[in-house]
Amino acid sequence: MLMKGIPASEGIELGKAYVLQEEADTDSGFQEYNGKHYELERFFKAIDEAKKQIRELKKKAQEELSEKDAMIFEAHLLILDDPEFLKMVERKIDEGKNVSVAVKESIRFFEEMLLGLNDEYMKERAVDVKDVGIRLIRILSGKSEPDLWNIPEDCVLVAKDLTPSQTAKMRKERIKAIVLEKGGKTSHAVIIARSFGIPLILGVKEATRMIKNGDLLIVDGNIGLVHVNPEKSVLENYRERIIDQYKERMELRDILHLETRTSDGRRIKLFANIGNLEELDIALKNNAEGIGLMRTEILFMNREKPPSEEEQFKFYRTVLERMRGKPVIIRTLDVGGDKIIPYLYAEIGKEENPFLGYRSIRLCLNRKDIFKTQLRALLRASIYGNLKIMFPMISCEEEVLKAKTILEECKEELRKEGISFDRNVKVGIMVETPAAALISDILAKEVDFFSIGTNDLIQYTLAVDRTNESVSYLYNPSHPAILRLIKMTIENAHKNGIEVGVCGEVASDENFVPKLIKLGVDELSVNPSKILVIKKKVLQTKSNEDIINM
């Protein structure tokens, strides 16, 4: 049997299925209403026990994963203290409903509310609400949690979905691969799977019903296929591919410490794109020369108000310290488009064209309070490493000048407060609009470096939504217009003595990398898991080879 899904973490693995069945209705047997006082007492006792369990999970995540993983459980604690949730449960108990029913209905309400939002990230946060609900219902019903610690060795974990709590408790070294019916590409399970190099496939319909415990599974995380009890010929073919995969990994380890140069000796800097500490771990493991793009949006998501200066400072400091003097380019807040954060957009409501609207630097220049808080945190962290600050979504010189002015204001404030910072911190911009590319000669005089964001540059130049299947065929990185804009940007940068990196998806595409090298790029910033693959490609590439048709 062959099952299909969405590849979310690369790799091919073979193992026996361990099917995690979703629990039956855990509040059965607790439908009787025993009076308001009794039901409320049970509710608040369950809340206290849930908090105790979550704090233990938070501690475990801090010790075994990262501070960012631990913050997920901080969000779970906030849900348990949420006044709206508590009021809703109390109101339902007042109406004569058993506490288990009241909790279940309230959790379902908030879960459906999140799922109804026009924001993929917030939709995926519904799993956090559900996780808290499952925990409360389980406590109320006296049932224990599924055991993901004592799972069989070399198994393929099959589940409907994995909550953050389950992900934190699973014994990762025993898991060969993961197959899920649900989940999203930014879910906690996916992030952890990528960090540990575990192949994972999402959206495999009816996997927990069709796959039985002990079934032999081949999980192809490269293309999203699950072979269930495969025929001998398929099994032999994949065994050879798994051996080849391990051989390739060993070959890549051999080049781990080599300097990244083309075959004719041109030096190319190889950096990593990261958005969390798990990706930083992978970047360090693969010997990244620096961080070419650190996204900061995750600090602002899954919460009701912006992160404080102190919280941001601690996070940036951690990254800079762990990079030990290597360059770290941190992009200021880049929200909008497909990343809508409710508390930042409450005043303006829904936009007709969010990708062309109130986003990124436009929002930051308007919300000076949020922008300055982030810039102050960055400046304070700058003494702990080699920080470079990058402004996104620039379309005119005025935006750069305004952003730099606000940065100078922050520096002056810190000076007066006697707080140390790197007074010579480098400042750059993302070149991701056609306008920025076309005036790159002007912009190059105002900044210390460029980073070309090809994802948006292609989308805006070709007027094509790459997520729209009807027109995605038009999304072509090799279109002459794109190549000319990249070439123009690089030439204008070099004329003004500044370097240019590329941090879009094309930098992680080994087939496109030779074109970028030919165009004159100085630095490639890639997905952390692709660093060695791209290094191998650079080592094999001639920088003066004529391979571009413009």
Q: At 25, is the pLDDT very low, low, confident or very high (cuts 50, 70, 90)?
A: very low
Q: In whole angstroms, what separates CA 113 from the centre of its chain? A: 23
Kindly state whether residues 132 and 155 are assigned to the same domain.
no
- Interval 103-160: pLDDT, tens: 999 999 988 888 877 666 666 678 788 889 988 998 988 877 777 778 899 999 999 9
> 546 in a domain, yes or no?
no
Kindly state whether residues 176 and 293 are assigned to the same domain.
no
Q: What is the CATH number of the domain that holds 73?
A: 1.10.274.10
Which residues are CB-neighbours of 163 under 8 A, at least 6 positions away? 127, 128, 130, 131, 134
> Looking at the chain, how many residues does it have?
550
> In this structure, what DSSP letter does residue 355 have?
G
Kindly state whether residues 12 and 85 are assigned to the same domain.
no
> 153 in a domain, yes or no?
yes
Render the burial of 514-530: b for 16+ CB within 10 Å, e for the rest: bbbbbbbbbbbbbbbbb
DSSP string, 494-514: HHTT-EEEE-SGGGG-TTTHH
Give the pLDDT confidence score for residue 467 in this predicted structure: 64
Kindly state whether residues 460 and 348 are assigned to the same domain.
yes
Give the pLDDT confidence score for residue 302 in this predicted structure: 66
> 545 in a domain, yes or no?
no
The answer to whether residues 317 and 384 touch, using CB atoms and an 8 Å cutoff, is yes
Q: pLDDT averaged over the chain?
A: 89
Q: Would you call 503 a catalytic residue per the annotation?
A: yes
Q: What is the CATH number of the domain that holds 238?
A: 3.50.30.10
User: For residue 28, is pLDDT > 70?
Assistant: no
Give the pLDDT confidence score for residue 29 in this predicted structure: 45
CA-based end-to-end distance of the chain: 47
Give the tokens for residue 364: 């930051």
Q: At 458, is the pLDDT very low, low, confident or very high (cuts 50, 70, 90)?
A: very high
Kindly state whether residues 392 and 519 are assigned to the same domain.
yes
Determine the Cα–Cα distance for residues 513 and 502; give it in Å rounded to an integer.
Answer: 10
Kindly state whether residues 129 and 217 are assigned to the same domain.
no
Q: Indicate the residue among 120, 141, 162 that finishes a domain.
A: 141
Q: At 68, is the pLDDT very low, low, confident or very high (cuts 50, 70, 90)?
A: low
Q: Indicate the residue among 245, 277, 299 that finishes a domain.
A: 245
> 250 in a domain, yes or no?
no
> 387 in a domain, yes or no?
yes
User: For residue 23, is pLDDT > 60?
Assistant: no
Average pLDDT over residues 352-380: 91
Kindly state whether residues 183 and 56 are assigned to the same domain.
no
Q: Indicate the residue among 141, 169, 192 that finishes a domain.
A: 141
Question: Measuring CA to CA, which residue among 484, 486, 481, 479 is closest to residue 501?
Answer: 486
**How many other C-beta atoms lie within 10 A of the C-beta of residue 248?**
13
Q: Between 122 and 216, whose confidence is greater?
A: 216
Q: At 30, is the pLDDT very low, low, confident or very high (cuts 50, 70, 90)?
A: very low
Kindly state whether residues 443 and 371 are assigned to the same domain.
yes
Catalytic residue among 155, 364, 410, 503: 503
Determine the Cα–Cα distance for residues 127 and 135; give it in Å rounded to an integer.
Answer: 12
Determine the Cα–Cα distance for residues 394 and 103; give it in Å rounded to an integer.
Answer: 47
> 31 in a domain, yes or no?
no
Determine the Cα–Cα distance for residues 254 and 265; give it in Å rounded to an integer.
Answer: 19
Kindly state whether residues 482 and 406 are assigned to the same domain.
yes
Q: What is the CATH number of the domain that holds 304?
A: 3.20.20.60
Determine the Cα–Cα distance for residues 367 and 345; give it in Å rounded to an integer.
Answer: 11
Catalytic residue among 76, 155, 188, 364: 188
The answer to whether residues 169 and 57 touch, using CB atoms and an 8 Å cutoff, is yes
Q: In whole angstroms, what separates CA 477 from the centre of its chain? A: 23
> In this structure, what DSSP letter does residue 425 have?
-
Query: Which residue type does 1 have?
Result: M
- Interval 510-545: pLDDT, tens: 999 999 999 999 999 998 989 999 999 999 999 876
**How many other C-beta atoms lie within 10 A of the C-beta of residue 148?**
21
User: For residue 24, is pLDDT > 50?
Assistant: no
63 to each of 77, 339, 507, 514, 540, how far by Cα in Å?
A: 18, 30, 34, 41, 41
Determine the Cα–Cα distance for residues 177 and 207; give it in Å rounded to an integer.
Answer: 14
Q: Would you call 479 a catalytic residue per the annotation?
A: no
- Interval 258-281: pLDDT, tens: 999 999 999 999 999 998 887 898
Determine the Cα–Cα distance for residues 302 and 238; give it in Å rounded to an integer.
Answer: 40
> In this structure, what DSSP letter does residue 302 have?
S
Question: What are the backbone angles phi and psi of residue 269, rounded to the nearest 5°?
Answer: -80, 135
Q: Is 219 helix (H, G, I), strand (E, B) or coil?
A: strand
Domain that holds residue 162: 2-22+146-245
- Interval 158-167: pLDDT, tens: 999 887 778 7
C-alpha dihedral (66, 200, 291, 173), degrees to nearest 10: 50
Give the pLDDT confidence score for residue 115 in this predicted structure: 80
Kindly state whether residues 390 and 274 are assigned to the same domain.
yes
Kindly state whether residues 212 and 305 are assigned to the same domain.
no
Give the tokens for residue 406: 């606000």
Q: At 470, is the pLDDT very low, low, confident or very high (cuts 50, 70, 90)?
A: confident
> 254 in a domain, yes or no?
no
Q: How many domains does the chain have?
A: 3
Determine the Cα–Cα distance for residues 224 and 265; give it in Å rounded to an integer.
Answer: 38
> 251 in a domain, yes or no?
no
Kindly state whether residues 450 and 354 are assigned to the same domain.
yes
- Interval 386-413: pLDDT, tens: 999 999 999 999 999 999 999 999 999 9
Question: Measuring CA to CA, which residue among 315, 355, 308 is closest to residue 336?
Answer: 355
Give the pLDDT confidence score for residue 124 in this predicted structure: 65
Question: What are the backbone angles phi and psi of residue 477, rounded to the nearest 5°?
Answer: -60, -25
